[in-house]
Each structure stands twice: as structure tokens, then as C-alpha cells.
Chains A and B, each alone.
Chain A
Amino acid sequence: QVQLVQSGAEVKKFGSSVKVSCKASGGAFSSYAISWVRQAPGQGLEWMGGFIPIFGTPIYAQKFQGRVTITTDESTNTTNMKLSSLRSEDTAVYYCARGGDLFDSWGQGTLVTVSS
């Protein structure tokens, strides 16, 4: 059974960057995709992108192209999501989830707060 554990909450300034990590245990890390989904306060879910091993390259939602970078480190079973040029509307809980198109295991979520 796959477990995903994310890094802790972050408070960031406008225009800066944030990196959220997601460490997997259980299962064969190199064989499954990890995606990132965010949720603004009181709002719904928004897919940001993911890393799918069979493609060997991350895929990003059009909305986040140029601002998000997803990397993976098989030596530590960790996937990282970096979001740059932060603005107030990026305040959200960021989740990693296993899967490239539908998501069957989720991390606990990481709250990122963007303020001036």
C-alpha cells in the first residue's frame, strides 16, 4: 500500500517560489505516476500536473505552464513541485497523489500561504 507524506506548511512572499516535497513508501516508486492537485480555501480541486514514468517527462496543466516544475528523485522516492512567481491566489492546500489521470492515494496536503 502506497503512502505519501508531504513536507510542512509554508508562508511565502508575493513573487517568491515554493517547493513542496512528497515522499512515497510502499509499492514500486519508479513504476507509478505522481500528480499534484491544489485546493484554494473553501474551493474545489485543481489539477496542476504530474510525472508519468512511461513518458519520462513531467506534464503540466496549461494554466501553470512556465510557473510550475515537477521533479522526481528515485533514489529517495520523492517528488517535488516548485511553483514560482507566487501571487495571492496561489494560497491553497497542495496535494500530491498517485496516478497520472485518476488518483488513488493522496498525501496529507501542504498549506502554502502567500502574503505581502
Chain B
Amino acid sequence: EIMMTQSPAILSVSPGERATLSCRASQSISSNLAWYQQKPGQAPRLLIYGASTRATNIPARFSGSGSGTEFTLTISSLQSEDFGVYYCQQYTNWPPRYTFGQGTKLEIK
């Protein structure tokens, strides 16, 4: 099973500043990586897929980068509504063994 490790566990950022979240895969997953945002009491929302493609209606301040084993989600200018927990997910296996990272909690300072 491919393990996904996210860092940091908690990130506190002031509005208007940049937030950088990291995700590492235990083996190469090419660009088969997605990022999700989850707010308390809500289902996750897809933000990024293919490591760098924004999903429908996702603001341009969200960007993804990386390939292989190292990935980054960047929020260029943090808005108050961006708080929540962010998960990365790999979807490279066949047969499917899709796995998520343990999450990064983004707090608004």
C-alpha cells in the first residue's frame, strides 16, 4: 500500500499570506494526486487533480505542483473561508488501493 504523509499537521496563517502544504508518497505516483478541502460537518471538496489541475469552480489562488513522490498545495493569498482540513489522495494503483494522507489542519491566524 502506498503511504501518503502530509506536513505540517497544523498550519496557522494570517489572511492575505501564502499557505504551503506538503504531501509525500512512499513511492512514485507520477501525477496521480488529488487535493481535497474539508470543513467541519461537511463532505470533502475536490480542489486539485492530476497534481496541478484545478477542479471546476476552484479559485485561482489554489495551485498544486509536484510529481513522483513530492507534492505541494499552495494557497497564494489566504482568505478566511479557506480554513479547514486538507487531504491529499493518490489514485495510481491498479487494482485500486487508493489512499489518503492524514490531513493538514489549516487555521486562520
Residue of A nearest to B103 (CB): A44
* Residues of B contacting A: mostly: loop
Inter-chain contact B43/A44, CB cutoff 8 Å: no
Question: Which listed residue, A44, A62, A100, A108, touches B87 by the CB 8 Å rule?
Answer: A44
Inter-chain contact B43/A102, CB cutoff 8 Å: no
Contacts of A62 in B (CB 8 A): 97
Contacts of A89 in B (CB 8 A): none
Q: Apart from A45-B44, A47-B89, A106-B45, what 17 extra A-B contacts exist at CB < 8 Å? A: A37-B44, A44-B100, A44-B103, A45-B87, A45-B89, A47-B100, A50-B96, A61-B97, A100-B96, A101-B91, A102-B49, A104-B46, A104-B49, A104-B56, A106-B43, A107-B43, A109-B43
Which residues in B have some Cβ–Cβ distance to A below 8 Å? 32, 34, 36, 43-46, 49, 55-56, 87, 89, 91, 95-103
